[in-house]
Amino acid sequence: MALPSPPTALQRTSQHLQRHSYNLGLSVVFAALGVAIALPTVTGAATGIFWLLGELSLAGWARFWYLMAGLAVMMFLFSMVRKLLIALWAVTVGRHWWEA
C-alpha cells in the first residue's frame, strides 16, 4: 500500500489562497483605499511645487505658505485615516490571520 505523495508547493499555495481568499480580498480593498487617499496628496504637492516655481513674487510666497498649511492639514488627515484603516484591517483581516 503506497503512501500518498505530499502536496506540491503549488497545491499548498492554492489551498492556502482558498482558505484565506476573504482576507486577501479585504487586504486588497484596504490597500486600494490607502492608495486612493495618498495619490491626491502626492499629486497635489507635486502640482503645487511646479506651480510655485514660476511664482517667486510676494504673492508666490503667500501661495507657498498657503500650500504648506494645506499640506500639513492633508498629512494630518491622511495619518488619521491611515491609522483608522490599519485599525480596521487589524480588527477584520489581522484577527483572522492571528487566529490561523
Report domain extents, the chain: 26-94
Q: DSSP letter string over 4-45?
A: PPPPPHHHHHHHHHHHTHHHHHHHHHHHHHHHHHHHHHHHHH
Most confident listed range (3-7, 17-21, 92-96) = 3-7
Q: Give the pLDDT band of residue 11 (cuts 50, 70, 90).
A: confident
Tens-digit pLDDT profile for residues 46-98: 676 666 666 556 666 677 777 778 888 888 888 888 888 888 877 877 666 66
pTM of the model: 0.37
pLDDT at residue 99, rounded to an integer: 61
Q: Long-range contact list for 22-30, CB < 8 A, 24+ apart?
A: 22/96, 23/93, 23/96, 23/97, 26/89, 26/92, 26/93, 27/89, 27/93, 30/85, 30/88, 30/89, 30/93
Tell whether the model's pLDDT for residue 1 goes beyond 60. Answer: no
pLDDT at residue 23, rounded to an integer: 65
DSSP secondary structure letter of residue 100:
-
Whole-Å CA distances, 17 to 9, 24, 56, 95: 12, 8, 55, 17
- Under a CB-based contact definition with an 8 Å cutoff, are residues 93 and 27 in contact? yes
Over range 8-18, report the average pLDDT: 75
